[in-house]
Amino acid sequence: MYLCDMKIALAQLNFILGDFEGNYRKISNAIGRAKSEKVHLICFSELAVCGYPPRDFLEFDDFIQRSNEIINRIIRLSENIAIVIGAPSINPVPEGKDLYNSLYFIQDQEIKYIQNKTLLPTYDIFDDYRYFEPNSSYEIVEFMGKRIALTICEDIWNIDNENPLYTVNPVEELWKFNPDLLINASASPFDYQHMEERLEVIQKNIKRYPIPIFYVNQVGAHTDLIFDGGSLVVSPNVHVFDRMKLFEEDFRTYELEEVMRGRKCPCPTFDPIEKIHDALLLGIKDYFKKSGFKRAILGLSGGIDSALTAVLAAKALGAENVLGVIMPSPYSSEHSVTDAISLAEKTGISYYTLSITDLYNQVNEQLRPLFDGKKADVTEENIQPRLRMIYLMAISNKLGYILLNTTNKSEMAVGYGTLYGDLAGGLSVLADVYKTQVFELSKYINREREIIPWNIITKPPSAELRPNQKDSDSLPPYEVLDSILYQYIELRLGPAEIIANGEDPTIVNRALKLVNVNEFKRYQTAPVLRVSPKAFGMGRRLPIVGRYLW
């Protein structure tokens, strides 16, 4: 039947969790294209049928039944083509979990083989072992005279058994069957360090097991998680044969013999700030599209965080779908208002001005009998962002806008924000981006022309909740604070280790206490677009009530 070199297609697609019909249309269209291009084998990503990560959807029998129905429809498409695709499968053994995370090899309108995932990550954002039974058996698929090893995501990440979480190396087990090539179906989420780590892992596999690897990754955002795609084909000489698009759907075909011979792919290098920028755009775009929303609203303060959020929203959604509301208080400087207007005009977004001064004065007057004799403090400051939120949420409700939260990671970490005020919103765009990175992103956006007014970038940051206020009145310089926060949050270093790295002991102890005592605020904020190795949310689960580093 097959008299020529094997032609393999990788389909890097953007799925929606639980949208079985929509996902099937994408899958069937890709299969149709593969057939038209005379492809012999097409590969899809991990749990492509239902989307990854489905989380507790997997506990619904109806969800699994619908997934199986889609697999049956895909089987009918497999005439004259082989299909490798991820989906949950039912564990037939009563003992253990009810499901496997599986990779189906479908050919000639039947399932030829199912490879289950062995290594089930249960750390950071991953919770696979909550739902799936780990694989314990291995086989090789034979197709067109080639022996194919099938693996799923994490299964290639335990070379030399160096990961203490696992006791087996699945690739080593499959190597016993003398495979000619390896396929890895992944759903590997983005962070600004992870793309390089993936390539290192793949190349490390090939150095030990010198066969080509076809690595197909999911692309798209699922609420907080962003998948960058970047699927890879790497030759036995360890050179990257090809890298697929980042943050976009892609479809490419490869002749196996060409991959075996190898070539050096002129793969572009990406600055971390550029990757964060592109990831945030995809995160915003997919959050709105997949949720059925079109328009965003945010408060424009004249500060850098709201300016950056507005620019990203305008890029992701179209300027015509973004509304900025300027809400000056008695303490807002004139340049903050003019900067906000300039930003709106440069980006093309609509803007509206609603002063909170009269409301603020009325609220203070109403509270005077209760507050009489007490000095003004953070209470009066917090009234202002909460009044602004009344305006923003009223417009959101009436006009159908989704509110974007503009708080950055530095502020979110130390609680420099007001619950039911500036911490409100449907999506936290910058809450995994440190303040120093906010400045870098803003300069990156202005790399060709001024979009964010330079005055917004260069002026001292201020919440403008009291006369002449600056962030530096309450916080250490952001370059100092962010260094400490990175070591504590991303690197999980304790205070003694951070101090030993040269940081000021007084600032370290104060900063870490602020992080811990403000955990209750982070529990009540909107989902955070994850772009770092350790983001607030699913990947960082700390108790609210505790006395560590108080």
- The one catalytic residue in 7, 133, 153, 409 is 153
Q: What is the pLDDT of residue 4?
A: 59
Q: What is the pLDDT of residue 335?
A: 87
Q: How confident is the model over 415-439, as a mean pLDDT?
A: 96
| Residues 432 and 405 sit within 8 Å (Cβ to Cβ) | no
- Mean pLDDT (the chain, rounded): 94
- What is the C-alpha separation between 255 and 260, in angstroms, rounded? 9
- The one catalytic residue in 26, 117, 290, 409 is 117
- What is the C-alpha separation between 192 and 530, in angstroms, rounded? 10
CA dihedral 409, 415, 417, 423 (to 10 degrees): 70
pLDDT in tens, 473-488: 788 999 999 999 999 9
- What is the C-alpha separation between 148 and 140, in angstroms, rounded? 6
Domains of the chain: 8-262 (3.60.110.10), 275-468 (3.40.50.620)
Instruction: Report the alpha-carbon angle 19-111-152, nearest 5.
Output: 65
Phi, psi (degrees; rounded to nearest 5) at 143? -150, 125
What amino acid is encoded at 39 in this protein?
V
- The one catalytic residue in 7, 26, 43, 46 is 46
pLDDT in tens, 330-380: 988 888 899 999 999 999 999 999 999 999 999 999 999 999 989 999 999
Instruction: Inform me whether the pLDDT recorded for 466 exceeds 80.
Output: no
| Kind and range of the H or E run holding 438 | helix 435-445
- What is the C-alpha separation between 186 and 196, in angstroms, rounded? 15
Alpha-helical runs (H) found in 123-193: 170-175
Nearest to 312 by CA among 425, 195, 444: 444
pLDDT in tens, 171-195: 999 999 999 999 999 999 999 999 8
Extract the tokens encoding 260: 């075996």
Extract the tokens encoding 235: 């030759």
DSSP state of 9: E
Annotation says 46 is catalytic: yes
pTM over 0.75: yes
- Concatenate the DSSP letters of all residues of 183-252 into one string: EEEE--B--TTHHHHHHHHHHHHHHHS-S-EEEEE-EEEETTEEEEB--EEE-TTS-EEEE--BSS-EEE
- What is the C-alpha separation between 40 and 350, in angstroms, rounded? 51
**Which residues neighbour 390 within 8 Å (Cβ) at sequence distance 6 or greater?**
359
Q: Quick one: pLDDT band at residue 162, thresholds 50, 70, 90?
A: confident
3-class DSSP assignment, residue 89: strand
pLDDT in tens, 429-453: 999 999 999 999 999 999 999 999 9
Instruction: Inform me whether the pLDDT recorded for 159 exceeds 60.
Output: yes
Q: How confident is the model over 192-207, as a mean pLDDT?
A: 93
Query: How much of the chain exceeds pLDDT 90, in percent?
Result: 87
Query: How much of the chain exceeds pLDDT 70, in percent?
Result: 99
381-399: string of b/e by CB count within 10 Å (b at 16+)?
A: bbbbbbbbbebbbebbeee
Q: What is the pLDDT of residue 1?
A: 38
| Residues 80 and 35 sit within 8 Å (Cβ to Cβ) | yes
- What is the C-alpha separation between 1 and 465, in angstroms, rounded? 75
**Residue given tokens 């970047």 in the structure block:** 230
Q: How confident is the model over 48-56, as a mean pLDDT?
A: 97
- What is the C-alpha separation between 442 and 464, in angstroms, rounded? 21
Least confident of 260-274, 322-336, 510-524: 260-274
Extract the tokens encoding 507: 């600032």
Q: How confident is the model over 274-291, as a mean pLDDT?
A: 97
Phi, psi (degrees; rounded to nearest 5) at 243? -125, 130
Instruction: Inform me whether the pLDDT recorded for 2 exceeds 70.
Output: no
- What is the C-alpha separation between 521 and 420, in angstroms, rounded? 10
**Residue given tokens 């699927």 in the structure block:** 231
pLDDT in tens, 482-529: 999 999 999 999 999 999 999 999 999 999 999 999 999 999 999 999
pLDDT in tens, 534-545: 999 989 989 888
Annotation says 21 is catalytic: no
